Structure 1
Amino acid sequence: MILVVNGAEQKVSDPMDALTRAVVISLFTWRHAETDDSPEDPNGWWGDTYPTQQNDRIGSRLYLLKRQKLTNKTPLKAREYVTQALAWLTSDGVAARVDVTAERTGLSTLYLAVMIYRNDGTTQEIRFNDLWSELNG
């Protein structure tokens, strides 16, 4: 998987800063499906069954998009799932704000950008130029 961090392209297997690693883990660890998702297999990390803090959950529901076709509505779901997965950044005080952009950029391409506004005023942008291939590859 290739991502772009503050304009520099890197592989997920490359060493990365703690914030980028936390974002990658948050997006590509499977969270338990919600009751209204009604998947065949709810998937998700078993540890979410017994959280140390009430309603504390790890990961995202991006895996649910694998069963769908890439349409103009898919980026809306991707944005929802990513926003949910990264909400802990603000609630835990890691960031002041997180903005998520998801766009269909081709017939089989889904672009995702995460802009993190840190409490010290700095920003960090993490982009996935072809998220759809990562989900369905």
Structure 2
Amino acid sequence: MADIRTLWSDLGGDWRLAGPSFDVDEGLETAVIVSLFTDRVADAGETGIESTGRRGWWGDAFADVDGDRIGSRLWKLAREKRTPAVLGRAETYAREALQWLVDDGVARSVTVAAEAVGAQGEVLALAIGVTRSDRPVAQFRFESFWKGQ
């Protein structure tokens, strides 16, 4: 089934026109982008979020499956230094956000690797692999969402 194709750039998510209508894709790239770059609500009691609140999407309150949430907690890392521990948290948050692909049978597995890139390691890069049984591994790389201050 076709979906409006969402592309990721330095400015965030965007849609592209293809003639008089929107460009479309099979939906996997869009699903990965929405899963990673929509703010997931932080768990109650998480530390370090007093100034920003718990964020999240209001629609989670009406999820079909109890406790189901959309998005990731990558937003919590925006002001963090690029240390190995923070890169590990980025991988954890990305895996958590993409787990639904496996749970819902869209993919057999998802791999995530985070690294600091750029001259001074000021940019967080995420490499995502989505393994499906009937297709080649879909690979995505995102760098532009976390630039150093």
Q: Which residue of 1 aligns with 2:15?
A: 13
> Which runs of 5 or more residues in structure 2 are unaligned?
1-7, 17-22
RMSD between aligned residues = 2.1
- The answer to whether the aligner puts 1:42 opposite 2:54 as a matched pair is yes
- The answer to whether the aligner puts 1:28 opposite 2:46 as a matched pair is no
How many angstroms does 1:94 deviate by?
0.2
- The answer to whether the aligner puts 1:109 opposite 2:123 as a matched pair is yes
- The answer to whether the aligner puts 1:132 opposite 2:146 as a matched pair is yes
How many angstroms does 1:54 deviate by?
1.3
Q: Which secondary structure state, in structure 2, belongs to the residue aligned with residue 132 of structure 1? A: coil
Distance across 2 between alignment mates of 1:36 and 1:120: 41
Q: Is this contact kept in 2: 1:112–1:131, CA < 8 A?
A: no
**What is the percentage of aligned positions where both structures have the same residue?**
39
Distance across 2 between alignment mates of 1:34 and 1:49: 14
Q: Deviations over 1:62-114 (max 9, x none)?
A: 10001322223221111000000000000000001100010112420211110
Distance across 2 between alignment mates of 1:112 and 1:90: 19
User: Which has the larger share of helix?
Assistant: 1
Q: Say how many residue pairs are matched.
A: 128
Q: Which residue of 2 aligns with 1:52?
A: 64
Q: Which secondary structure state, in structure 2, belongs to the residue aligned with residue 24 of structure 1? A: helix
Q: Is this contact kept in 2: 1:114–1:127, CA < 8 A?
A: yes
Distance across 1 between alignment mates of 2:54 and 2:137: 34
Distance across 1 between alignment mates of 2:71 and 2:42: 10
Q: Which residue of 1 aligns with 2:19?
A: none
Residues 12 and 75 of structure 1: CA distance in aligned 2, closer, same or farther (over 3 Å): farther
> Which runs of 5 or more residues in structure 1 are unaligned?
4-10
Q: Which moved more, 1:66-75 or 1:113-122?
A: 66-75
Q: Which residue of 2 aligns with 1:74?
A: 86
